[in-house]
Amino acid sequence: MKIIFFGTPLFAVPSLEKLLDHREFEVLAVVTQPDKRRGRGSKLSPSPVKELAVKHQVPVWQPKRVKKHPETLSRLKEAEADAFVVVAYGQILSPEILEMPRLGCINGHGSILPQYRGAAPIQWCLYNGETQTGITTMLMDAGMDTGPMLLKQSVEIGLLDNAIDLGRRLSSITADLLVETLIKLNAGEIQPVPQDDSQATYAPLIQPEDYRLDWSKSAIALHHQVRGFFPNCVTEFRQQALKISQTIPLGIKLPLELKELEQQLPTLSQLSGKPGEIVHIVKRFGPVVQTGDGLLLLREVKPAGKRDQSGWDFANGTRLATGEILG
């Protein structure tokens, strides 16, 4: 099968790798976002997908707006591909592009559709405290993740999983599911299933204000926010920004690896304070913060101008005292 692959971030790399290594497929070209300026010196850096394509000597096309780039549109049409495979590309494909390949445009989406349509399904499912998510392959149409579904695979979400952890697992599943989808679709062994729009939920682009922690929220809600928008959630400490990258909600059943923490905790009912107040410091773990409902332990933080550090190192390094306020 002749394939053109559309993708940009690290999440899409396993899918491209699987297609390049599989004897059933010939990847004719890769379409990815233009190089971006990053880091010190603002040097132009290629996307992870482009780096892999170059390594395998696959032609790379990088139109700024694919649906309005005549040269790319002409190349896509002339390729006479069996399928366009799309994984986290970052641009909307026009109806003209969607109709070009013989089998259509097949997308690997990071949720169990029709839930979490949109740009950030992994992040928002964690933010909302979901305990299960997965991957859906679908035939793309003109809508935002509204096309008929092909195959699905679910995964469980652990209490301490963050967006990076979950993204790695889902990217691997996407790669395998796309291969199965393409082979079965080509053989006529899959019947596309329309989505039930009445059950749809949405995962919009994350905005800067989504990273701000409000200590009047519950401990579990703040925990979900921190892991969903990892590693960017931020509060204030001594009038400077403090990123919170890993937390543990207390007063609920914790994983076995946190047994030592449970043994060190005092009776939680004895701890209380205002939202954002440090009410206790757990040896070898870190500070415990009072929230609007429940207690939250800060397991890993990043003070302004410093590297990531454990909550315990942070407490020691700043000589943190109970009664201090975050936010």
Residue 199 and residue 212 in one domain: no
Question: What's the total number of domains in the chain?
Answer: 2
Mean pLDDT of 203-223: 97
CA atoms of 15 and 277, how far apart (whole Å): 45
Which of these ranges, 106-120, 148-162, 214-228, 248-262, has the smallest mean pLDDT? 248-262
Residue 63 and residue 97 in one domain: yes
pLDDT band at 219 (very low <50, low <70, confident <90, very high): very high
In a domain, 325, yes or no: no
Residue 54 and residue 95 in one domain: yes
Q: Give pLDDT tens digits for 88-131.
A: 999 999 999 999 999 999 999 999 999 999 999 999 999 999 99
Please report the pLDDT score of residue 216 as a whole number: 98
Where a domain ends, among 171, 203, 235? 203
Mean pLDDT of 206-232: 98
Residue 277 has pLDDT above 80, yes or no: yes
Query: Are residues 270 and 264 in contact, defined by beta-carbon separation less than 8 angstroms?
Result: no
In a domain, 191, yes or no: yes
Q: What is the pTM of this model?
A: 0.93
Residue 237 and residue 183 in one domain: no
Mean pLDDT of 218-238: 98
Residue 71 and residue 190 in one domain: yes
Where a domain ends, among 172, 203, 234? 203
Residue 170 has pLDDT above 80, yes or no: yes
Where a domain ends, among 203, 234, 261? 203
Question: Any idea what the CATH number is for the domain that residue 302 is in?
Answer: 3.10.25.10
In a domain, 243, yes or no: yes
Mean pLDDT of 149-168: 97
In a domain, 187, yes or no: yes
Residue 43 and residue 157 in one domain: yes
Residue 106 and residue 253 in one domain: no
Q: Which domain holds residue 223?
A: 208-317
In a domain, 238, yes or no: yes
Residue 168 and residue 221 in one domain: no
In a domain, 322, yes or no: no
Residue 103 and residue 241 in one domain: no
Please report the pLDDT score of residue 274 as a whole number: 97
pLDDT band at 192 (very low <50, low <70, confident <90, very high): very high
Please report the pLDDT score of residue 41 as a whole number: 74
Residue 116 and residue 264 in one domain: no
Residue 131 and residue 275 in one domain: no
pLDDT band at 323 (very low <50, low <70, confident <90, very high): very high
Mean pLDDT of the chain: 95
pLDDT band at 291 (very low <50, low <70, confident <90, very high): very high
